Structure 1
Amino acid sequence: MQLALFPLSAHLLPGGVMPLRIFEPRYLRMIAEAQTREFALCMLDPRQPDALRNMYPIATRVRIIDFDRLPDGLLGIKVQGVERLRIRDLWQEGDGLRVCDAQPLPPWQGGRLPQDQRNLAQALREVFSDYPEYAALYHEPAWDDACWVAQRWIEVLPIPAEQKQWLMACEDYRPALRLLSNLLVTSH
């Protein structure tokens, strides 16, 4: 599948919601073409010397769920993650918009959060409480869904991008839950 790319310094996974400010002409075009050519959020890789290819390989296809004109006159959109992708090839169009050929990755299957990992949902609730603007993005948090909890943690956890990419490339969310459980035990 061919998609436009919107590079960021953050990750978004399926089910995740993120507000974006759009102002560069190439990204305004990307939004205008979103009905005919979907786009994906990807993360910049500052270690990559080739400026055209300075992106990590795992991205997330998104859909626009809301848009508005911001007080500063810029276009504000809200996107939701749809599916994880592996970027296979990428190129740049005349206005600088990067486009990729990507392969969808199998979706992680949701499941009930195990009893011994309920503390992960509780800790995430505390993050939501500390950051109400982030919490406001999620009208119906899925606190009992292990996949949803793992994905939100991957998005907000301050770990290196390489580690997030490794977790995003996994076949399911279990490695993320193991890492999170270990981190939570270590921090308390």
Structure 2
Amino acid sequence: MNTIALLPHSKHILPKGRLKLVISRVCDIRMVTEAMTNKRPFALGMIEPNQAPETISHIPAIATTVSIIDFNTQDNGLLEIIVEGIDTISVSILTMAYDNLLTATYEPCAQWTPININHDSQPLADKLKHLFESTPEITNIYQQTSYDDATWVCQRWLEVLPIDIKYKQSLIHHPTANMTISFLLQLLQNHHLINH
């Protein structure tokens, strides 16, 4: 049985993604401190933007293990960290400690393998590159990008798109990124959620 500390968050991350987080709750600071001290990952679980972490009794099944790659203490005493996604996991049970820190019992998920960008999927890479280049707070945390890998591109889109968590979870549940490629290309074609 695998267990890992879990942070429910409205910002989402998938393998090879990077994310800046501000940690304010005492239990989450404890989790981050222990993760850095012991050089071990924790997990980030998906919640809706209007959900308070204190009210979480269950989260969508698929979460992502992350490692801390940078940290900084802000003037107000809050902790700012940059995390990088490692693997997706399937959470089965959540338990809550005395200070509200969540621990997840989990099983590993099958990870998406790289898929070369082709002529059909190239627009997804081009639009993502444009989005990243126009958003310095995203660009600044990526030392390297993989716009030639459709899997990497799809995972970054799933992180930033404001689509319902159940749809994100459904797409992530597929064994490869192919379904997500089709889904995103349809979105692009419809001009509903992807800016030009």
Is there any run of 5+ residues in structure 2 with no aligned partner, and where?
A: none
Secondary structure of 1:120's counterpart equals: helix
Secondary structure of 2:176's counterpart equals: coil
Question: Any idea what the Cα deviations from partners look like across 1:21-55, whole Å, max 9, x if unmatched?
Answer: 112111111112212763100012679xxx45231
Moved more, 28-37 or 126-135: 28-37
The list of structure 1 runs, each at least 4 consecutive aligned residues, that deviate by more than 3 angstroms after superposition, is: none
Instruction: Look up the match of 2:123.
Output: 119
> Structure 1 residue 38 and structure 2 residue 41: aligned?
yes
Letter in 2 for 1:29: R
Report sequence identity in percent.
36
Secondary structure of 1:53's counterpart equals: coil
TM-score, scaled to structure 1: 0.92
Report the alpha carbon displacement of residue 10 of structure 1 after superposing the two structures with TM: 2.4
Contact 2:40/2:67, CA 8 A, preserved across alignment: no
Is there any run of 5+ residues in structure 1 with no aligned partner, and where?
A: none
Letter in 1 for 2:187: L
Question: Any idea what the Cα deviations from partners look like across 1:74-127, whole Å, max 9, x if unmatched?
Answer: 111110000001101111111111111011101111121122110110010111
Match of 2:96 among 89, 92, 95: 92
Within 1, Cα distance between the matches of 2:130 and 2:165? 23
Instruction: Look up the match of 1:79.
Output: 83
- Aligned pair count reads 185
Contact 2:47/2:165, CA 8 A, preserved across alignment: no
TM-score, scaled to structure 2: 0.88
Moved more, 110-119 or 11-20: 110-119
Report the alpha carbon displacement of residue 129 of structure 1 after superposing the two structures with TM: 2.3
Secondary structure of 2:65's counterpart equals: strand
Instruction: Look up the match of 1:149.
Output: 153
Secondary structure of 2:120's counterpart equals: helix
